[in-house]
Chain A
Amino acid sequence: MTTGEPLIVLDSVNKWFGPLHVLDDVSLSVGRGEVVVVIGPSGSGKSTLCRTINRLEPINSGTITFDGQALPAEGKALAKLRSEVGMVFQSFNLFAHKTILENVTLGPVKVRKEKPAAARERAMTLLDRVGIANQADKFPAQLSGGQQQRAAIARALAMQPKAMLFDEPTSALDPEMVGEVLDVMTSLASDGMTMVVVTHEMGFARHAANRVIFMADGQLVEDAPPAEFFANPRSERAKDFLSKILTH
């Protein structure tokens, strides 16, 4: 699945929130087309790791490279890089004052300067793909959580990103809506999208991931294919974590 040079490379990344060492010398590389699932207990730094990749969280030391280019500082270059990395949030963060369709077309029209008609057409195709084309003219608050999250995925895909970051995309959803979001993500993964997914959905990690990253206390503890990780976790910390979540 992996071809050529890796798309995302983190090298000795450190980050502190005040005295808290949230990312402790984290190194990671994600190949093109690879699906990497990041799991770990809460407070382990996995969300922060995900957010450093498009510099929503700046880092204190180390380097992050995306598509062969070091992450630029704030400014036009960073905005361009962010337009190439899709991001899906736990709380959806759809623009509350815009319709679903406007949410999806805003980036293409304002950032990529696409013609509104062409952007709308592509947006409708994407909304159809995630199964909510009939909700296009509603406002986010009128949709269920699952529908909102699928709209958020469509909004990110509209930028035709080189990679997608998912920061706990199903954690804020009612249980019966988790499946519809994971279905969309699974189909994206099988289409060859490069994905970094922070999640607690072990089922998704098992069947859709190429690799599972286990984090604890800001450190990257394990990095293994899912079958290997779930069957034979090497570290005590991972064994402990899995025993807690897999017993119920």
Chain B
Amino acid sequence: MSVLIDKFDVFAGGFWLTLQICVLAAIGALILGAIVAVLRISPVPPLRAVGTAYVNIFRNMPLTVVMFFAAFGLPALGSNADFLRIPGMDAVFTRLGTDLPYFRFALIALVLYTAAFVCEALRSGVNAVPAGQAEAARSLGLTFGQNLRYVVLPQSWKASIVPLGSVIIAMIKNSALVGFFGVVGDLSQTADQLTSAEGYAFIPVAIGISIGYLIMTVPLGALLDRIEKRQAVAR
């Protein structure tokens, strides 16, 4: 078990990189998922079709395959995902700005995949709002956008927040895949590095990285439990 102390800085570095990709992917997936959700509930049939197609593709494809497409497909198309070198952001999240594009590719895959689940979590919240609320808003002459903004969404987030949290927890665990698609130094790739290259015993290393993931997921789960309890009282 001495590896946990001897290599603490390596674990901490892996934790930090995994945290970075998870924060970025969560932000991206929430934004993209919200856009897809709006498409899926839009009154315009072609927009609905686009939203539905998106969810059907990315919810039903293994994340590994999405990662493959991002890591091999994007370079084949001649893209290094340079649009993610966002000035300012790349000062905090240094990997966004590196010449090696694998962090950006993995981020894209994680965002695309998770957004489908975010969309469905948001939509389940919207569906939990009684239909009469939206009908009353339409009857007053509110447009689709105003209806969502002032009437439906303020009431739907309560029903969305817990499934949304589960989606983010799943995403944090899914991020363990990025180490196998060229991202060097995240928690899962750290394990590979310490065991294969440096010859440490597997089980202590696995315990180390498990602790890293649990530090991110357990507090999030506890927070969701608290929110759920408060809602139960409010109801």
Interface residues of A (CB under 8 A from B): 54, 56, 74, 76, 79-87, 89, 91, 93-97, 106-107, 110-111, 152, 155-156, 159
CA distance A106 to B141 in the complex (A): 10
CA distance A89 to B132 in the complex (A): 8
Asked if residues B143 and A106 are in contact (CB atoms below 8 Å), the reply is: no
Asked if residues B139 and A54 are in contact (CB atoms below 8 Å), the reply is: yes
Asked if residues B154 and A82 are in contact (CB atoms below 8 Å), the reply is: no
Interface residue? B94 (CB, 8 A): no
CA distance A198 to B151 in the complex (A): 26
Asked if residues B43 and A74 are in contact (CB atoms below 8 Å), the reply is: yes
Nearest B residue (CB) for A108: B140
Known contacts: A96-B155, A97-B155, A110-B150. The answer to whether A83 contacts B135 by CB under 8 A is no
CA distance A54 to B141 in the complex (A): 10
CA distance A233 to B140 in the complex (A): 37
Asked if residues A159 and B140 are in contact (CB atoms below 8 Å), the reply is: yes
Contact partner, B135, options A89, A155, A156, A159, Cβ 8 Å: A89
Asked if residues B132 and A107 are in contact (CB atoms below 8 Å), the reply is: no
Which residues on A sit within 8 Å (CB–CB) of B155?
96-97
Nearest B residue (CB) for A102: B150
Which residues on B sit within 8 Å (CB–CB) of A155?
136, 140
Asked if residues A56 and B135 are in contact (CB atoms below 8 Å), the reply is: yes
Asked if residues B141 and A159 are in contact (CB atoms below 8 Å), the reply is: yes
**A6 to B: closest C-beta gap in Å:** 21
Asked if residues B150 and A93 are in contact (CB atoms below 8 Å), the reply is: no
Interface residue? B231 (CB, 8 A): no
Known contacts: A95-B151, A97-B154, A110-B146. The answer to whether A80 contacts B141 by CB under 8 A is yes
Query: Which B164-222 residues have a C-beta within 8 angstroms of A?
Result: none
Interface residue? B133 (CB, 8 A): yes
Which residues on A sit within 8 Å (CB–CB) of B138?
56, 79, 82
Interface residue? B63 (CB, 8 A): no
Asked if residues B43 and A107 are in contact (CB atoms below 8 Å), the reply is: no
Asked if residues B132 and A79 are in contact (CB atoms below 8 Å), the reply is: no
